[in-house]
Amino acid sequence: MIPELKKITEQKMQKSLEALQSDLGKVRTGRAHTGILDHVQVDYYGSLMPINQVANITLLDARTIGVQPWEKPMVSKVEKAIRDSDLGLNPATQGDVIRVPMPALTEERRRDLIKVVKHEGENAKIAIRNLRRDANAHLKDVLKKKEISEDDERRVQDDIQKLTDRYVLEVDKLLAEKEKDLMAV
């Protein structure tokens, strides 16, 4: 029961970390990467589809993404979907390839993005600490029912605290890495 509690808590903390990594991946640095367009939806014959299901997405160079729709009539729809997304991108069509240049980030925009990144990191830390709190509350319930000893409870609390510290440190590492990416010109 106790090993199961630790395992479940660690899995949930890992999921919080993965959610943060996913959120940070959406924050745009000055460099192009294909994942930026992942959440763009395209009107594909009346239903919304992720862009990667209607087009081939590649990197043309460090600051340009190439999008090549699989069907010729989709070129204008894909271009419109990218332009209308909340990414602030300005695609340009050349034949059947849509070039999506990544605008250089201004210093002020970089600072704003760092604030967003820090906020996301703080949310992840809060989620991890909440998981610690839930695990400790569960331990207290088990202790009240006299299913474990006080020594065991303290030992498991220490283990959960170590787990929490480890994941908070991972969050800090991810934030530092993303900040460095954002400040790189």
Q: Is the pLDDT of residue 127 over 90?
A: yes
Q: According to the model, what pLDDT value does residue 101 have?
A: 85
Which structural domain range is residue 119 located in? 2-26+106-183
From 101, 128, 150, the end of a domain falls on 101
**Residue 63 DSSP code:** T
Regarding beta strands 97-101 and 64-69, do their DSSP bridges make them parallel or antiparallel, or are they unpaired? antiparallel
From 64, 80, 101, the end of a domain falls on 101
Question: What number of helices (H) and strands (E) belong to the chain?
Answer: 4, 6
Q: Is the pLDDT of residue 8 over 80?
A: yes
Please indicate, yes or no, whether residues 113 and 175 belong to a single structural domain of this protein: yes
Please indicate, yes or no, whether residues 40 and 88 belong to a single structural domain of this protein: yes
Q: According to the model, what pLDDT value does residue 167 have?
A: 93
Mean pLDDT of 167-172: 94
Please indicate, yes or no, whether residues 97 and 110 belong to a single structural domain of this protein: no
The domain total for the chain is 2
DSSP string spanning 25-49? HHS--SS--GGGGTT-EEEETTEEE
Average pLDDT, the chain: 85
pLDDT in tens, 66-125: 888 888 888 888 888 888 876 777 888 888 888 888 877 778 778 878 888 888 899 999
Mean pLDDT of 52-61: 86
Band (148; pLDDT cuts 50, 70, 90): confident
DSSP string spanning 79-137? HHHHHHSTT----EEETTEEEEE-PPPPHHHHHHHHHHHHHHHHHHHHHHHHHHHHHHH
CA within 13 Å, CB half, 77: 19
Please indicate, yes or no, whether residues 75 and 110 belong to a single structural domain of this protein: no
**How far, in Å, CA of 43 to CA of 79, rounded?**
11
From 101, 124, 153, the end of a domain falls on 101
Please indicate, yes or no, whether residues 126 and 173 belong to a single structural domain of this protein: yes
Please indicate, yes or no, whether residues 45 and 88 belong to a single structural domain of this protein: yes
Indicate the SS3 state at residue 64: strand
* Contact in structure between 82 and 7 (CB atoms under 8 Å): no
Mean pLDDT of 139-145: 89
Please indicate, yes or no, whether residues 14 and 83 belong to a single structural domain of this protein: no
Please indicate, yes or no, whether residues 21 and 110 belong to a single structural domain of this protein: yes
Can you give the CATH number for the domain in which 123 is found?
Answer: 1.10.132.20
Q: According to the model, what pLDDT value does residue 30 have?
A: 63
